[in-house]
A = this chain, B = another copy of it.
C-alpha cells in the first residue's frame, strides 16, 4: 500500500511539465485555435500523454496501463490549461472492441480514422421497446447478396444527428435462437444513406441531445459485423464494463462537491455565507466521504487488477453508489438555490445567483444518469445475483414460460 508519488513518478511529472511548457500555448503561426489544439494533441500523443491505450500503428501512443500516470497527466494538463484529450465514443468504445475482436482488415479500415476523429460515432443500442432489456431488441439485418439490409428503429442515440457512423446492435439470426441474445450482432454502419432517417428528441431541459434513428432497407457491407455473427451481446457487454471502469464518475463527484462549496460560499443565509452553517458543512462532508469511498475503492480495484489479482465487486456497485451521491447532492443544492430553482436560464437583469442555472440543469441531468446505462433496478438485480449469489429473477423467466405455454 503506497499512495506516495515515487521518484519515478515525480520524474515523469517533471518531464510532462517541461513538455507542456514547451508545447502550449503554440504560436499563432500554426493556425487558428482549433488547429493549434489539434497540433498540441498530436504532439501529446507522440510524446505518450494521449491515446495511451491505442497501438502506435493505429495512431495511438501505446503506453502500458498505469492509472497513477493517467492521474498525473490529467492533473498537470488541467493545471497548465492545455487542451485535454477528446473523449468520444470512437476511442472510448469502438476502438477497444475492434482491437479485441476486429479482423486485421477491420482494424486497418476503422481505427486510424477513428483515432484522428475523421470517423465519429454514435451508439445504436436501445430501442423503444428494449431499454434495460437489450436482449429483446427487434431491429433486424438480413444478408442479401453481399450486403446487410437493415430494418428497425433505434432510440437514445446521443450523437446520431452530428456523427456519421453508428455502432449498432442488431438481430441477424432467426427469432427462435435461444437464449435470445445469441441472435444479436455488433455492426458498424454509415448513417449517410437514404435508408436512414434521424429525428432528434428534445430532452426535458428543452435541449435536443438524443435521436431516434429509423432504418428502412438501410445497407451495410458484408464485413460490417465485428466479433462474429450472433456474438454482439458479448462484445457489447465488454463495452459496458469498459464504460464503468472509468474514473470519470469519481472526478465528476469531486468537482460537484467543489461547485457546491462555491455555491454555498456565495449564498447568504441569515446574513452569513451558507457555508458557515454547521449542518450544511456536515452534509457536504457526508458527500465527501462518499466521493472518497469511491476513489479509494477504485484505487484498490485497479491496483489489484494491475498485478492480476481478482479485484472484488466494487466496480459493479459504483454506478448505483454514484446515483445515491447525486440524489443527496440534489437535496443540498435545492435548499441552497431556493428561488433560483425556478429559473432554467438566469435573468439578464442579474436575477439569480451566477452558476445556479447550471444546478437546475444538473438536477435534470442527474435524472438522466439514473436512467442511462442500465436502470438502478437492473443494477440491483446484477449486484444481488453476482455479489451476493441470490437467485436470478424469476418474473421475466416465468412470464416468458407462460407466454410460450399459451402459444
Using a CB–CB cutoff of 8 Å, the interface residues on chain A facing chain B are: 277-279, 394-395, 398-399
Contacts and interface: CB of A to CB of B under 8 A. Distances in A.
The 9 closest A-B pairs by CB, nearest first: A279-B279, A398-B398, A394-B395, A394-B398, A395-B395, A394-B394, A278-B279, A277-B279, A394-B399
A166 B331 CA distance: 50
A394 B279 CA distance: 45
The secondary-structure label for the interface of chain A is helix
Report copies per complex.
2
A403 to B, nearest CB: 13
Contacts of A399: 394
Nearest to A282: B279
Given A394-B395, A395-B395, 7 more contacts: A277-B279, A278-B279, A279-B279, A394-B394, A394-B398, A394-B399, A398-B398
A270 to B, nearest CB: 9
Contacts of A395: 394-395
A338 to B, nearest CB: 14
Contacts of A278: 279
Nearest to A280: B279
A231 B308 CA distance: 64
Contacts of A394: 394-395, 398-399
A149 to B, nearest CB: 40
A301 to B, nearest CB: 31
Contacts of A279: 277-279
Contacts of A398: 394, 398
9 contacts: A277-B279, A278-B279, A279-B279, A394-B394, A394-B395, A394-B398, A394-B399, A395-B395, A398-B398
A363 B56 CA distance: 63
Contacts of A277: 279
A71 B89 CA distance: 67
A394 B278 CA distance: 48
A400 to B, nearest CB: 12
A398 to B, nearest CB: 5
A394 B398 CA distance: 9
A395 B390 CA distance: 14
Nearest to A269: B278
Nearest to A393: B395
A285 to B, nearest CB: 14
Nearest to A397: B398
A38 B17 CA distance: 90
Nearest to A277: B279
A248 to B, nearest CB: 33
A237 to B, nearest CB: 27
A137 B263 CA distance: 59
A278 B279 CA distance: 9
Nearest to A270: B278
A128 to B, nearest CB: 23
A19 to B, nearest CB: 50
A153 to B, nearest CB: 28
A351 to B, nearest CB: 27
A279 B394 CA distance: 45
A121 to B, nearest CB: 40
A323 to B, nearest CB: 21
A14 B395 CA distance: 61
Nearest to A278: B279
A43 B189 CA distance: 90
A59 to B, nearest CB: 53
